[in-house]
C-alpha cells in the first residue's frame, strides 16, 4: 500500500519548500495531498522565493504558482501516515486556523512521522506540541520554540535534526537531509 502524506501550505509558502519535497515524495510513489485553509482542489497558491543577497535578512520575490490537489475541508487525518509542514510566509497565518492545529496535534498524539522546515515550525509552536522536544528551524524561530517549551537546536542550514518522530531543518538547503530522515521515519528504503 502506498504511503500518504499530508502537506500543509498556503499563499507565499517558500517555493522550494513546497515544490522540492512534493516532487521528491511523488518520485518514490508517495501520495502527497497538499492543502491550504480556505482552498479547494484545483485552486492556486502563490509561492515566494527567499534568498540572501546582502541584507540582514532574506529578500523575497514571487515564485511559481502551485496547484492545491486536495480540498482542505475534505482532509481526514486518519488517512495519512505522515505530515509535512512547509515554510515561507504561509505558516505565520495558517497557524491561526484551528483545524490546522488539530491536524498537527493528531500526528503528534499518534506518534506519526512529521517533517517541518524553516518557518513551518511556527505551526508547531502554535499547536502547543513542542514541550520537551528538540528541534531546529530558521534561527528567528528559535525564541518561539523556547517559549513553546521546546529546545532550539542550532544546526547548519543544510542539515536536519531528528527527535523521535519529528525531523526539522532550518531552510531549503537542508532538503537532502530532511527528506532522507523523513523517508526513514515513513519506513521507505531506497536501494
Neighbour-count burial of 57, counting CB atoms closer than 10 A to its CB (0-12 exposed, 13-18 middle, 19+ buried): exposed
What is the model's pTM?
Answer: 0.96
Taking only the tens place, the pLDDT of each residue in 99-151 is 999 999 999 999 999 999 999 999 999 999 999 999 999 999 999 999 999 99
Per-residue pLDDT, 1 = 67
Please tell me the predicted confidence (pLDDT) of residue 7. 98
pLDDT of the residue at 24: 98
pLDDT (tens, 9 = 90+) of the chain, 191 residues, equals: 689 999 999 999 999 999 999 999 999 999 999 999 999 999 999 999 987 777 776 777 788 999 999 999 999 999 999 999 999 999 999 999 999 999 999 999 999 999 999 999 999 999 999 999 999 999 999 999 999 999 999 999 999 999 999 999 999 999 999 999 999 999 999 88
Q: Give, to the nearest 10 degrees, the angle between helix 175-186 and helix 15-27.
A: 40
pLDDT of residue 46: 96
Structure confidence at residue 148 (pLDDT) = 98
Whole-number Å distance between alpha carbons of 90 and 110 = 25
Q: Which residues have C-beta within 8 Å of that of residue 36, sequence separation ≥ 6? A: 8, 9, 10, 11, 43, 45, 68, 72, 90, 94
Question: Nearest CA to 80 among 191, 186, 188?
Answer: 186
Amino acid at each position: 500500500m502506498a504511503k500518504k502524506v499530508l502537506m500543509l501550505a498556503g499563499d507565499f509558502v517558500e517555493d522550494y519548500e513546497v515544490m522540492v519535497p512534493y516532487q521528491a515524495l511523488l518520485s518514490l510513489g508517495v501520495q502527497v495531498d497538499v492543502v491550504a485553509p480556505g482552498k479547494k482542489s484545483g485552486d492556486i497558491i502563490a509561492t515566494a522565493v527567499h534568498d540572501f543577497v546582502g541584507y540582514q535578512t532574506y529578500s523575497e520575490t514571487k515564485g511559481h504558482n502551485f496547484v492545491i490537489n486536495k480540498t482542505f475541508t475534505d482532509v481526514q487525518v486518519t488517512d495519512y501516515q505522515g505530515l509535512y509542514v512547509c515554510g515561507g510566509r504561509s505558516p505565520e497565518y495558517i497557524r491561526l486556523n484551528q483545524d490546522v492545529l488539530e491536524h498537527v496535534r493528531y500526528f503528534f498524539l499518534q506518534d506519526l512521522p512529521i517533517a517541518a522546515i524553516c518557518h513551518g515550525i511556527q505551526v508547531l509552536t502554535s499547536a502547543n506540541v513542542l514541550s520537551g522536544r528538540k528541534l531546529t528551524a530558521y534561527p528567528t524561530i528559535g525564541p518561539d520554540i523556547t517559549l513553546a517549551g521546546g529546545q532550539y537546536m542550532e544546526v547548519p542550514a543544510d542539515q536536519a535534526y531528528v527527535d523521535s518522530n519529528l525531523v526539522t531543518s532550518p531552510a531549503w538547503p537542508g532538503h537532502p537531509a530532511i527528506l532522507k530522515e523523513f523517508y526513514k521515519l515513513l519506513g521507505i528504503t531506497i536501494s
